[in-house]
Amino acid sequence: MVTQVLRCFKRTPPLLTRRSALGLLAATAILPRAARAHVAPPRNEIRDDLAKRFTDLGTSGTFVGYKVEDYLIVASDKERSGEGKLPASTFKIANSLIALETGVVTDPDKDVFPWDGVKRPIEAWNKDHTLRSAILVSAVPVYQEIARRIGEARMQQYVDAFDYGNRDIGGGIDQFWLTGALRIDPVEQVDFVDRLRRRALPISKRSQDLVADILPTTKVGDAVIRAKSGLLGAERGEPSLGWMVGWAEKGEAHTVFALNMDCKEPRHIEARMSLTQACLSEIGAI
């Protein structure tokens, strides 16, 4: 039902109208089918204070947060938060799920991907990796090898099943999320991550449990943030766009989020997580 609702709203330009699909999705997971027609869209807010955090940092960006228990969607703007971008390394979430589901990886802690011996600018990539260690340091070469082993046919099958962004894997099996045709906007990122959080993707619970477990975590007070970063051009030393997507857990409360921003300076790259935390704090999620 989620994909049908999203596709419907994708034909409607206003961002917050599309966002009502998120709340509808969460509600229909617990309501009887007969009651679904009567589910109201979630409350939503555009917050100028969130937008100001990007301008204060000397850049442009967007933040979307879905406060699950409050049935509330908070966004920094109506425009950029609905614009599709290359997902960069945030696609490692989907790539990990597909790797586990297809058996390309059977155990995220035991299956080893040997270093190919090519010296790359990011030193943490120049070593053997498991899936857990590779996602922690966002090792692009490891995930490129994973994608090649999955192959185009299976990759397309699962990208379609996940209804991931525009679902276009053109541009090379080991490049489509970095320089190819794939595009995803923050709305779609939040929907995808929320389905993983709820174990509602159309794959085994085991694969979803394992990927949720290997996602990098950050503790902030009594809250935990599970998130994956992304940086376009990182593998070439030419950063341009940064992502941070995931969810925050504070007690029983959950907030799913997606942030992207132009990374014009090195400090912008470092600011992705701190800005995410600031936005989450601003909306009372952590």
Q: Is 20 among the catalytic positions?
A: no
The residue ranges of DSSP E strands in the chain, in sequence order, are 43-46, 61-67, 72-75, 217-220, 223-231, 241-250, 253-262
Burial 63-97 (b: 16+ CB within 10 A, else e): bbbbbbeebbbbbbbeebbbeebbbbbbbbbbbbb
DSSP 213-246: HHS-EEEETTEEEEEEEEETTGGGT---EEEEEE
Q: List 226's β-bridge partners, or say none.
A: 217, 247
Please say whether the beta carbons of 65 and 257 come within 8 A.
yes
The single residue of 20, 81, 89, 207 carrying the catalytic annotation is: 89
Q: List 142's β-bridge partners, or say none.
A: none
Show which residues are catalytic.
89
